[in-house]
Amino acid sequence: MATSNDLLIKQRSVIEFLAAEGCSAANIHARMKTVYGEMCISDCAVRKWVRIFKGEDPRETILRNRKRSGRPLSVSDTAHREKVDCMIRTNRRVTQKEIANEVGISKERVHHIVTSVLGYRKVSARWVPRQLTVEMNAQRNDICTQLFLQKEKHFCNAF
């Protein structure tokens, strides 16, 4: 299944093509609405992209969003990840606040790096890696089922 970003790029391609043919923005939106349904971009967005595409050569059009000004995301880079991971491996009881102060990033970013990127979770005040794979989970289910059946069989034989 395509991601929402891929879907937007596809829709922009359709807008570019139909605008090059000379279709109006309202006509383009109506046609796209029949194809994409609820996932179709708004009429306002279609009009914006038609204005953008009207004066440009189709071979030079960039469909992806252009770079925006502002502070780049730099705290989730590999250097910060490695520092956070090293601190956790050294001291499993380190807090997010201590990590944030040591590395020089926000607690929110520390939480994101620790839980989403590195895959740790807090258990008994310690950071523990999430290591249970799909296969391990299936194996656990099988063992639990076998134990349950053995206990049930033992219970039935007791009477």
Please report, for the domain that includes residue 107, its CATH number: 1.10.10
Same domain, 11 and 53: yes
95 class by beta-carbon count within 10 Å (0-12 exposed, 13-18 middle, 19+ buried):
middle
Q: Which domain holds residue 36?
A: 4-60
In this structure, are residues 137 and 130 in contact, taking their beta carbons and an 8 Å threshold? Answer: no
| Number of separate domains in the chain | 2
Q: Residue 37: its pLDDT value, please?
A: 87
Instruction: Report angle CA 105, 111, 112 to the nearest 5 degrees.
Output: 95
Highest mean pLDDT among 1-15, 71-85, 86-100, 126-140: 86-100
Handedness of CA 62, 65, 71, 76 (dihedral sign): negative
| Tens digit of each residue's pLDDT (9 = 90 or more) over 88-132 | 989 989 999 999 999 888 888 889 888 888 888 888 878 777 776
- Does residue 34 lie in a domain region? yes
Q: Residue 75: its pLDDT value, please?
A: 62
Q: What's the rounded mean pLDDT across residues 133-146?
A: 86
Q: How confident is the model at residue 30 (pLDDT cuts 50, 70, 90)?
A: very high
* Residue 3 identity: T
Same domain, 84 and 122: yes
Predicted TM-score (pTM) of this structure: 0.41
Q: Residue 127: its pLDDT value, please?
A: 77
Q: What's the rounded mean pLDDT across residues 13-40?
A: 88
